Structure 1
C-alpha cells in the first residue's frame, strides 16, 4: 500500500509541477510575443498539446523513478507501458500542431482577398497539400513507434522483413489507384496547373476549385452543386482553367441577325452599354461579323471582365440589352426568312431582269489573280511562304 501511495503522490506532484511550468512558459510567451505572429500562433494553438504532453511526460518520469528496480509488480509495468504510449501520442500531437502553426504563419503572409492573388493561391495550395501529407506521415510514424513498444511486434519484425518483397508487390497492386491519386495531387500542387479558387470548366460544368486533397478535388459549380473528381483526372484529361495566369478573362455573346443590321451603329451601342456598367474592366469591347451565310449575319460581341463571375453577368447583360435594342430600334435587323413566289416561266415583271451591257473583259495580263489566297499578290506570296516547309538541301 505504501508503494501505491508513493507512486500516486509522485504522479500528482509531477503533474502539478508540469502544469505550473507549462503555464509559466505560456504566459511569458504571450507577453513577450505580442508583436510576433509566430509566437502568437504558438500560444493560441500549441498550448493545449504542450500542456498534455508535458503532464504525461512528467507523470511517466515520476512513476519510473519511484518504482525502483526491485519491485516487479505487473500493474507498474502496465502503467509504465501505457504512459510511454501516451508520451508518444502526445509528442506526435505537439509536433503536428507546431507544423500547422508554422504553415499558418507562412500562409498569413500571402493574402487571397486581393485582386491579383494568383501567387498567393498557388502557395496556399502547396502548403495545404504539404500539411495533409505531413500529418499523414506523423500519424503513420506514431502508430509504428507505438507498435514497436510491444515485444510481440518486435519479434515478428524479422519475418516481416523477409517477406517484404511479396508484401510490397501485393500492396503496390492493391494501392495502385490510391498512390496514383496521391502523386497526381502532389503534381497538381507543384506544377501550378490548378490551384485553390481557380475557375475551371470540367465535364461541361463551370465552377471553381473549392478543395484540393491528395486523393480528390472538389469543384463548386456555379449553382452551388459540388463535382468531386479524383486528382488523377486533372493529370490525364483536358480541362479549362480560366484563371491560371490571371483572373481577368474574355467572353463572347453571339447574335444571328438579318443582313440589314447596321453593324457600326450596333457597335457604338455596345460601347455605350459597357462603359455604363461596373462589370466591364475597360480592356476589350469588340463587335465583329464572324459569319455571313445561310441568310443571316452572325455578330460576335467580345467583352472583358475582371473575374469569371463578373464576365458571366456582363455577357448576360450584353445579350439582353442588344436583343432589346434590335427589337425596339432596328426591327428590320431581326432574323427573317425570304421566299420568292412566281410562275415557272418567269413572266412576272418583278422577275424579269433586263440584261446589262456586257462589260469589257480584261486581258489575261490585266486581270489580277484574285482567286488564289496563297499567291497572286505580295500578301498572298508572304502567306504562302509561311506554310512552306524548309527547303531540302540538294546534293552538290
Structure 2
C-alpha cells in the first residue's frame, strides 16, 4: 500500500511531537539537554559476553547514542524526501553535517543521519525546522546490542514429536536483523539464506556467531552433523545491521530502520529482532506502520534481570519472548513485564560458533525459536497478530499464574501442527 502525502506528513509530525515532548523516552537528556561531550561508558560487568566463554553475549548495553565525528551524539532526521532535502540544507547552513543518507522506500520517507557540529542543541534544530515549516522528525541515533549467552532438550520442550521439529510446508521468508550470518558453517549447509548489509562505508561488520546461531535455530536443515532448526525449509533474509563497536557489536537505529524497510520491500511477513536497547520513536513508527500492513515482529525481552521489557520487545506491535530452561524455569537474567507474550527454550542451547559450537543462554535464542514457531502458525494459514496470538496462546503450556503473567506471558510455546506434516 502506498502512503498518501497526508499520511506521510502526519507520521513525520508525529515524530516531531515525540521529540519535543520527550514523554516517550526514558533518557530525555539525550534529546533535550545541551549535549556536553558524552561521558565514557561505564566498565562492562563480568557477565558481558566474550566469544570464547559460556557467558551471555546479550546483556543490554548502557543507553547511548552513536557518536558523530565531532564527538557529539548523532541524530536522525526523518520525513518526506522533499522535507528531508530541505532539512539537509538547513542543517549545513546552521553548522551541522550530513553523515549518511537513506531512503525508506516502503514508507515513502527520507532519512539522514546528522552531526550537529556547531548547532547548539537538537532543540535548536527542531525549533528552526518548525519555523521553516518543515515536518521532519529529529531523533537521537541510538545504538543497540544483540539481546542474547546451550539444544538437545529444546525441541521436546516445545512439543516437537520425537524431539525433531517438523519442516515448514512452504518456503516462508523470515527476516533476521542482526550481524552477519556465516552461511558456510556446517549447521547451515543447504539452508536458503540471502543477505544484505546496512552498515556505513568504513564500518566493520560485527562477529557472525550470534546471527549464525539465530539462523541455525530457525532454519538449519538438519544433516546428521547438526540438529534441524525449528522451521527448516524457511528462507532466511539476513539484514546485517550490527557493526563492531568499542565495547562490543552494536547497531545504530538508522541501520535497523533501513533493514526493516528492505524486509518490507521483500514482502517478508515475519521478522526476528533479537536485540535490545532504548525506546526510539522513529523505530516505533516504522514498526507500527509495517505491523499495520501485516508484518509480524518477534523480539527478545532482554537479559538484565529488570522488571521492564527492553525495546523493541516493549513495543505494542511486537511479540515479546522470554526464555526458560530445560526444567521450565524462567531464565534468571530475563526481563519481566506486562508486555511478555510467550516463553521458549533459551538456556544452555548448543549453537554453532566460529570454533564449532558452544552452549549459550539468552532471550535472543528463545526469540529465534519462537520466531520459528510463529512461522509454523503462518504456514498453517493464520494471518494477523491477533489470530496468531490467540491460536498460540491456546496451545501454550501455562507455566505461571493462571492466564497471562509478567514472567511467562501466555506460557511456553508449542509446535502444535507437526503431527500434520510428518
TM-score normalised to structure 2 length = 0.21
Q: Which has the higher helix share?
A: 1
- Larger RCO, structures 1/2 (Cα 8 Å, 6+ apart): 2
Question: Over alpha carbons, which structure has the higher Rg?
Answer: 1
TM-score normalised to structure 1 length = 0.22
Q: Which has the higher strand share?
A: 2
